[in-house]
Amino acid sequence: MARVIQFDRVGEPDVLKIVDVALPALAADEISIKVKAIGLNRAEALLRRGKYAFPPVFPQRMGYEAAGIIEAVGAQVQGLIPGDAVSVIPSLAMDRWPTYGETIHYPARYVVKHPENLSWEQAASAWMQYITAYGALVDVAEVTSGDYVMVTAASSSVGIAAIQIANMLGARVIATSRTESKRQALLDIGASWVVTSQGEKSVAEVKEITGDRPPRVIFDCIGGEGVPTLCEILAPGGTLIEYGNLSGENTPFPASLAIPKGLTIRGFAYSEIVGNAARLANAKTFILAALSRGELKPVIAKSFVFDQIVAAHQYLEANAQLGKIVVTV
């Protein structure tokens, strides 16, 4: 038996319950992991509310990220052995391989021996944020030294990952935040500038920062009615990468800006990298090397213990964090 977290109806964080379940037999290509820490993602809160990409099937388990120690390996697994310290790359099947548990089974192809310089909390929170930011900035936009890159909602874990990766590449980062309270923290993390103004005021503020070199790349998770403003900010020939729609609004296509400026407006999803073996291998090589060198370092906003999962989800939905929320086991 193993203690896991599940819910039997949609709703507020208090629908989450810790229960004892019998885990299925370990498949030949799977690994059994004694979990030390779990990284939380907004997708899990959406699933709990019945608003995710797939509907919950009760009792529903959840979780994309975790780190721990291998307890057992399937018959076909090579290169990993019991006792290895590992973290998991979020699969594309949270319903099949959930990570909210004291012991989990996970496909070996998504299990990585992480660098020894990472804490359990950092290891559990690395892969979703860094693969997303890497995919957008390195794989898609091919950011290079001297580029100006704008990152919206920059205090999220993915936003912070984007700041760190852009700095690695020699770019200069303009971070946005809705409040002044996060300005200094974002500067400390590596943003060159922080913009808190909205609408046309933000256009003027960014122009004052960059002069005659507007941002070539904007990495945005908000979408909605603010997209035309972002296109106004972009350099001619620039790329707007949309990886979320936190606004919940319909996103207009700003033809009057995109056509004469030759802009690229591109959707991006984490699955684009994880679903392609070659691109995922390149991402793993880049991220593991940077984590080992300390150039990438996950920022932990707050840590909870396993029995505090309800409080952890309440904090997740309060949108007050700077960095990643983790649960230790």
pLDDT tens digits, one per residue of 181-217: 999 999 999 999 999 988 889 999 999 999 999 999 9
In the predicted model, what is the mean pLDDT of residues 42-63? 96
CA distance 295 to 67: 20
The pLDDT value recorded for residue 198 is 84
Q: For residue 179, what are the β-bridge partners? A: none
Average pLDDT, the chain: 97
The pLDDT value recorded for residue 70 is 98
User: Of 222, 216, 223, 221, which is closest to residue 169 (Cα–Cα)?
Assistant: 216
CA distance 300 to 179: 20
> pTM, whole model, 2 decimals?
0.96
CATH annotation of 128-271? 3.90.180.10
Q: Is-same-fold flag (2-125+299-328; 128-271)?
A: yes
In the predicted model, what is the mean pLDDT of residues 67-74? 98
Instruction: Given CATH 3.90.180.10, say whether it is the number of domain 2-125+299-328.
Output: yes
Reported in sequence order, the residue ranges of the chain that DSSP labels E, i.e. its strands, are: 2-7, 17-21, 30-39, 60-61, 65-73, 85-88, 103-107, 111-113, 148-151, 172-176, 193-195, 217-220, 239-242, 264-267, 300-305, 324-328
The pLDDT value recorded for residue 200 is 86
Q: Considering the chain, what percentage of its residues have pLDDT values greater than 90?
A: 96
pLDDT, tens only, 129-171 = 999 999 999 999 999 999 999 999 999 999 999 999 999 999 9
All structural domains of the chain with their residue ranges: 2-125+299-328, 128-271
CA distance 29 to 156: 33
CA distance 97 to 62: 8
The pLDDT value recorded for residue 197 is 85
The pLDDT value recorded for residue 18 is 98
User: Of 129, 261, 125, 151, which is closest to residue 206 (Cα–Cα)?
Assistant: 151
